[in-house]
Each structure stands twice: as C-alpha cells, then as structure tokens.
Amino acid sequence: MGEIYDTVYNFNLIIYENTKKLFVQILSDLCLRHEKLQVQGLDFIRKMNILMMLLLEYRDVINKSKDVDDEMLCIEKILKFYRSEFNRSDLYTEYIYKLYEIHFKSKNFTEAAFTLLEHANRIV
C-alpha cells in the first residue's frame, strides 16, 4: 500500500513541478511581449514562482515528513517571504497562527509566546 502511495505522490510532484515551470514560462513570454507588463509582470511571476515553491515544499513536509521542525522551518520561510515580498497581513497572520499552534502543541510555550508577540508587534 505504501509503495502505491509513494508512486502516486511522486507522480503528483512531477505534475506540480511541470505546471509551475509552464506557468512561469508562458507568463514570462507574454510579459516580455508586452511593453507595459515587462517589469511589473516579470516581478509578479518571480514572486509567484517563489511562493509556489514554498507552498509545495510546505505541503510535501506535511504529507511526507511529519517532522515538526521541518514544518516550522517551512512556515518560517513562508512568513519571511510574505514579510519581504508582499504586504498581505491576512496571509502572514494565517501562518503566524499555524506556527503558534505547532509551538504550543510541542509544549514550546516560550516560542509560542514569541510567535504571538511577533504578531502583536505587526499590529501596532
């Protein structure tokens, strides 16, 4: 049973990676042909490519690894991306709370408190 799951899982990884590559390739080509979309469009595609990579990595860790440290690391990468590339406080908040829940369930109460403090500092 595990062998079938691994085969299907690996097949899905290939599909997602190919879809991501096609997304970047097709949209990049279209943006390069359009004078007004070249700079902003290519920047958007760059950001979406990074975001897709981070989210796929996070999903892989959740589905495959089940390691809490790996999950926390993935969430930290996503938070850093949202903090530096986007001003999306709703998405940032969603992942802050996921990180808080992981710390709390792992009985890392100090880290959970610091996670909430990070959120509180962004509100003020």
* Per-residue pLDDT tens over the stretch 22-62: 888 998 999 999 888 889 999 999 999 999 999 989 988 88
Q: What is residue 81's predicted lDDT score, i.e. its pLDDT?
A: 92
Which of 84, 122, 77 lies closest to 98 in space, CA to CA?
A: 77
12: pLDDT confidence band, cut at 50, 70 and 90? Answer: low
Overall pTM surpassing 0.85 (yes/no): no
Cα separation of 96 and 76, whole Å?
A: 9
Domain 67-124 carries which CATH code?
1.25.40.410
User: pLDDT tens across 92-104, in order?
Assistant: 889 999 999 999 9
Report the sign of the C-alpha dihedral through residues 51, 56, 62, 66, in that order.
negative
Q: What is residue 2's predicted lDDT score, i.e. its pLDDT?
A: 56
User: pLDDT tens across 57-94, in order?
Assistant: 998 888 887 788 899 999 999 999 988 888 788 888 89
